[in-house]
A and B are shown apart, each in its own frame.
Chain A
């Protein structure tokens, strides 16, 4: 699918491209197969509260023709949360032009292993607001939070 999108969007003029993270999770086993196409690594919030980034990266979509996209595998155990964020959170700069970065995101997401999924956008905006001194972000921010359901 990602290769097909790359062919389709690679035909357009200009330097535009996009990143994506997509995958399939087997609800019975928690086995996850995913493709990370230049998108920042999502975080798994493990049952011990640790926030672990997953994925080794990959080419963005529509940037270069004929590049290979790889699938990776992972595990989303029952109750484990996964949080996917767009680059606006990581690249949010403070008054000193310092970026928020992965370490601070990791910190904000750790110990959220019992948090309701609806809360995750608020958790992220609560840490970004003081970092930005109340100013709006320069870029749009998307946050997707999901968790593996209990067995059927």
Chain B
């Protein structure tokens, strides 16, 4: 389901591989992304470029990934459309996840921080 692009310093960009991240598929998404942290990823950037809809279960799964990553890693998101940005704001997830404009700027910004 997910498509991953590994970068240096343990950064991995993750495309969910679905246009709608919902109750129907978010469990698989969560388990696949969580596995990345077991395999050496320290920074997962979830790229929402191809995602047109995130429902409340999808949002729950994202937070679940964050909790699973725990001290081992960070989860950031990028390329949110207006509706997804709005639900991040409504639920204050804009204070929980670092939000980047696109994958390139996310990777660059994380690199600069290291």
Contact = CB atoms under 8 A, between A and B. Distances in A.
Nearest to B66: A64
A67 B53 CA distance: 26
A59 B56 CA distance: 13
Interface residues of B, number: 19
A32 interface: no
Contact of A15 (B20, B60, B83, B86): B60
A60 B91 CA distance: 6
Given A15-B60, A17-B60, A97 B20 contact: yes
B90 A63 contact: no
Nearest to B61: A15
Given A15-B61, A17-B60, A38 B53 contact: no
A93 interface: yes
B52 interface: yes
Contacts of B83: 99, 101
Interface of B (DSSP majority class)? helix
Interface of A (DSSP majority class)? loop
Interface string A64-82: 1001000000000000000
Interface in A1-31: 14-17, 19
B53 A93 contact: yes
B90 A16 contact: no
Interface in A40-93: 40-41, 57-60, 63-64, 67, 87, 91, 93
29 contacts: A14-B64, A15-B30, A15-B61, A15-B64, A17-B60, A17-B63, A19-B56, A19-B91, A38-B90, A38-B91, A38-B92, A40-B90, A41-B90, A57-B89, A57-B91, A57-B92, A58-B91, A59-B91, A63-B60, A63-B63, A63-B91, A64-B63, A67-B92, A87-B55, A87-B56, A93-B53, A97-B52, A101-B83, A102-B86
Interface of B: 19-20, 30, 52-53, 55-57, 60-61, 63-64, 83, 86, 89-92, 96
